[in-house]
A and B are shown apart, each in its own frame.
Chain A
Amino acid sequence: MTHQTAAAPAARERLAESGFGLKFSRFVHRNARYIFPAPAFIVVGVIVVYPVFYTGWMSLQEWYASSLTLPQFIGTANYQKIIAGDPRFREAFFRTLYFTLIAVSVETVLGVSMAILFNREFWGKGLVRTLSILPMMATPTAISLIFVMMYHPTLGVMNYLLTVVGLPAWTWTYSSKTALYAIALVDVWEWTPLIMLIAMAGLAALPKEPYESAKIDGASAFQCFYLITLPLLRPTLVVAILFRAIDALKTFDIIFVMTQGGPSNASETINILLFNQAFSYFNMGYASSMAVALFSIILGVCLVLMKVRRVGW
């Protein structure tokens, strides 16, 4: 008797427990599709979403992180300053677009030309592909450092090579007239292979028939390229350009390591200006509004390019 009464509540308890456990495990199994991505969702929320909203909010304040005063709400004053009252930002804005335009167009022309050159079976194709990947993955800081040494106006190997082929020496990153181009050249060196590899994959997937019928119709190689290859390659190419444009607009490492925006602001893009505002002057509010502006610019360029993808040339 006593044995039975003692056991009953324990059993009931166990039953209740398993009831809850059952409910819980049922919940876990029914909602697996939400539970699998949940940790990533939380992490992204903490490290991405929260800072983004914080930056948006901070862009409406005036605050120097170096001082002891608290942030002060100033509405859209920072944005008004960006648009109307800061020539340095305006210069940086056009410089950023110009840098991106130069770097990405050179990369596209070179990359597509190289892809067409390599679009055949030949001994050493694997080696070419392997070698092309290395500039994209090598540490940008280290690469910039090597270019700093190669660009040296008197001791550098670049000017030596120029004089060997009979050209006048150049000033590279050491003059405000040439610095931006010299940096764009580093970007071209790093990223032309990406466009090339994407274009090579695109070329390999093209159908053969249009070329055969064009050959029968007597089309020249140039006509084949311009009227068949380029239009067919366009969707792939626009995606490649889109990716390059996003990253070129955000270029930071190579500029910061090589010139830090100089000489005399000649290579100061929005990203560099913004970095200095935030971490040299600790002008957090104004820097945040520039960050929002840079994001809008990148988004704008993306939307334009995505439209180009759908509409004709």
Chain B
Amino acid sequence: MVGTTKYRKLAKTVGFYALVILVMLPTAFVFYWMITLSLKPQVEAAGFPPSFFRFSVTFKGYLYVFAKHPFLLYTWNSLVVATGTTLLGLIVGLPAAYGIAKWRQHKFALAILVARIIPGISYLIPWYILFRNLKMVDTYSALILTHLVVGLPITIWVMVGFFEDIPPDLREAALIDGCTDYGAFWRVALPLVKPGIVATAILAFIFSWNNFLFSVILAGRNTRTLPIAVFNMIGYEEINWAPLAAAATLITLPVILLTLVIQRHIVTGLTFGAVKG
């Protein structure tokens, strides 16, 4: 009798884990397929039937990407634009987030929601015309300014949460000790939200790194970022799959590593604009 309940329990656990694996399999498989495809020699990458586990490993796909395309330049461009966007977003966004959190200016949250609803393309048309007239298409400044449209709201949104978590007593103590509002922000609040700043910076960086829509129009020969480079490769390389997968892996890998660092804050970042309560 005791034995059967034990077996039933075991069967239930096994069944549960089988279900978990089944549910998570598609997610894992796409990443697995991307990485293994990038490591296969061309014959096996586009071979049929596809090989799942047994294949020869080679880095030729990666070498090809760097040899045939200026991939280092694209990577550098992506780094410059994403870093610039992140820094500018922090410089402008941190004080704003502090103000919103301290003086409860929640109407700003509504403004952020509206900015999120507006389709990206409706910004792109005026920018394109403006930057074309100013001869600024294909410059880092144009890309950084436009990427801020996504980066700045995220920065403000996530940081408001962190600033609100600071106990008000600390700020009051600082004010009583003779700090001004600016001193309280700089010497008390900022050091306390350092982990939040790291998380926010990474989020803003990833969103800029992933941006396709703005860069496809405003980046040119000199400032082409990685997503645009990969998009162009699709037509050019056709079924030269190993290098294509290698390029995809190269773009995605930094994002995955950064995501793992800040995974607790991702959902907050993705639902920015949601009015609390």
Contacts and interface: CB of A to CB of B under 8 A. Distances in A.
Interface of A: 28-29, 32-33, 35-37, 39-41, 43-44, 47-48, 50-52, 54-55, 58, 65, 114, 117-118, 122, 124, 128-143, 145-150, 152, 154-155, 157, 160, 189, 193-194, 197-198, 201, 239-240, 243, 246, 250, 252-253, 256-257, 271, 274-275, 278-279, 284, 287-288, 291-292, 294-295, 298-299, 302
Contacts of B28: 131
B146 interface: yes
B176 interface: no
B121 A275 contact: yes
Contacts of A43: 92, 148, 152
A243 B251 contact: no
Interface of B: 16-17, 19-20, 23-24, 26-28, 30-31, 33-34, 37, 46-50, 91-93, 95-96, 98-100, 102-103, 105, 108, 111, 115-129, 132, 145-146, 148-149, 152, 156, 180-182, 185, 206, 209-210, 212-213, 216-217, 226-228, 230-231, 234, 239, 241, 244-245, 247-249, 251-252, 255-256, 259-260, 263, 266-267, 270-271, 273-274
A193 B27 contact: yes
Most buried by A among B17, B124, B245: B124
B72 to A, nearest CB: 18
Contacts of A35: 95
Contacts of A135: 27, 30
A28 B95 CA distance: 14
Given A52-B118, A138-B255, A298-B119, A47 B149 contact: yes
A284 B263 contact: no
Given A130-B263, A131-B28, A141 B119 contact: no
Contact of B244 (A32, A145, A194, A299): A145
A40 B156 CA distance: 9
Contacts of A253: 212-213, 227
Q: Tell me if B's interface is mostly helix, strand, loop or mixed.
A: helix
Contacts of A250: 119-120
A151 B129 CA distance: 37
Nearest to A258: B234
B150 to A, nearest CB: 10
B212 A133 contact: no
6 contacts: A33-B102, A48-B115, A128-B20, A136-B270, A194-B271, A295-B122
Contact of A137 (B127, B249, B256): B256
A148 B234 contact: yes
Contact of B260 (A130, A143, A154, A279): A130
A47 B26 contact: no
Contacts of B119: 250, 271, 291, 294-295, 298
B239 to A, nearest CB: 7
B93 A40 contact: yes
Given A117-B20, A142-B248, 20 more contacts: A28-B182, A29-B181, A37-B108, A40-B96, A48-B123, A55-B123, A114-B23, A117-B19, A128-B24, A131-B28, A137-B210, A137-B266, A145-B230, A145-B231, A146-B33, A146-B248, A201-B267, A271-B119, A288-B125, A295-B118
